[in-house]
Amino acid sequence: MRKIGFIGLGIMGKPMSKNLLEAGHQVVVYDLEAAPVLELAAAGAGTASSPKEVAERSDVIITMVPNSPHVKAAVLGPGGVIEGAAPGALVIDMSSIDPIVAREVGAALAKRSIRFLDAPVSGGEPKAIEGTLSIMVGGAEGDFEEALPVLKSMGASVVRCGDVGAGNVTKLANQIIVAVNIAALGEALVLATKCGVDPRQVFQAIRGGLAGSAVMEAKAPMALARNIKPGFRINLHIKDLNNALAAGHEVGAPLPLTAQLMEMMQALKVDGLGEADHGAVIRYHEKLAAVEVKEKSS
Ligand code: NAD
């Protein structure tokens, strides 16, 4: 059993911290919002009034907040984790952020002998609830081995990808592949519909072949049902593509497909779909072709 601090109790952080409690850890939580803190307190967590206090009361401190500036604020800002953590403490950022910022945060903590892992996740709210997330980790081998039992309380797959920052580089790779797959699916189903072929039959015929994918299994049924309830929101995917483009520019890796997806998602945001599921990318193709993809009634 570990003394674990958890900062950021949103869609993902709330179920993840509940799974740590269920695994028998002692958990102390903090969020800018009161409601999820009260919910975790009712489930058995201790509560703190700042990230600094969370760190003072924990050996392992986890952050799960939206993006790079939020991580910097919670970890390095006034009243942040860095002010409360003892030398030797282990900070694990599980948010999806710019890998360059992850390295900056790790370096600032290292100056105080505080250890750091970046460990973003894939799988969304359902897998956060089940405790079956995929977790991609960057950091020192020894820190990874120590964190493994804690991370296994939240994830089914936990893989070390390299040094600090490698977790977020892997997550960006994941987000590029997911975005481009969703767009390919949308484009293909719009073509089929315009050609008068039932998109349900197209999905059934190709799902077992080379074009089949986890993205297709998740998003084709949603497209056919015209369901755009999130899930993973377009606005968050824009954030990830922004981080991918920034990292690509920094290291000299042009990302033409990512840039195209960014502009498509920007158009959808302007059209009022920023809070819709990223599967709503198909609406972009539908507008271009003036058609709606849906299941044909038999
Ligand atoms: P969310 O917006 O639901 O939750 C974020 C929480 O962080 C909020 O409760 C907010 O109040 C809190 N917060 C923000 N700044 C804070 C600060 N300085 N101190 C303390 N708390 C602070 O977001 P989410 O969907 O839970 O996503 C969290 C991270 O996980 C993001 O980086 C996201 O990209 C990533 N992620 C999300 C999903 C998903 O399906 N939602 C899937 C995989 C990864």
Ligand 1 pocket residues where CB is under 6 Å: 7-13, 30-33, 36, 64-67, 70, 73-74, 95-96, 121-122, 124-125, 232, 236
Q: CB atoms < 10 A from the CB of 162, how many? A: 13
Q: Which of 9, 11, 122, 237 to mutate to test the pocket of ligand 1 (most atoms within 8 A of CB)?
A: 11
Which atom belonging to ligand 1 lies closest to the Cα atom of 95?
A: 32
- The residue segments making up the domain with residue 13 are 3-163
CA distance 117 to 99: 11
Characterize 227-248 residue by residue with b for buried, 16 or more Cβ atoms within 10 angstroms of its Cβ, and e for exposed: ebebbbbbbbbbbbbbbbbbbb
Residue 13 shares a structural domain with residue 100: yes
Q: What are the structure tokens assigned to 4, written together? A: 């674990």
Residue 91 shares a structural domain with residue 209: no
Beta bridge partners of 29: 6, 47
Q: What are the structure tokens assigned to 65, written together? A: 């907040």
pLDDT per residue as tens, the chain (298 positions) = 899 999 999 999 999 999 999 999 999 999 999 999 999 999 999 999 999 999 999 999 999 999 999 999 999 999 999 999 999 999 999 999 999 999 999 999 999 999 999 999 998 889 999 999 999 999 999 999 999 999 999 999 999 999 999 999 999 999 999 999 999 999 999 999 999 999 999 999 999 999 999 999 999 999 999 999 998 899 999 999 999 999 999 999 999 999 999 999 999 999 999 999 999 999 999 999 999 999 877 5
Q: Which of 12, 95, 97, 243 to mutate to test the pocket of ligand 1 (most atoms within 8 A of CB)?
A: 12
Which atom belonging to ligand 1 lies closest to the Cα atom of 122?
A: 43
Residue 48 shares a structural domain with residue 137: yes
127 is catalytic: no
Residue 70 shares a structural domain with residue 85: yes
Chain mean position to CA 192: 32
Q: Which of 52, 171, 219, 239 is catalytic?
A: 171
CATH of the domain at 52: 3.40.50.720
- Domain end call among 163, 191, 222: 163
Which atom belonging to ligand 1 lies closest to the Cα atom of 9?
A: 9
Residue 14 shares a structural domain with residue 154: yes
pTM equals 0.94
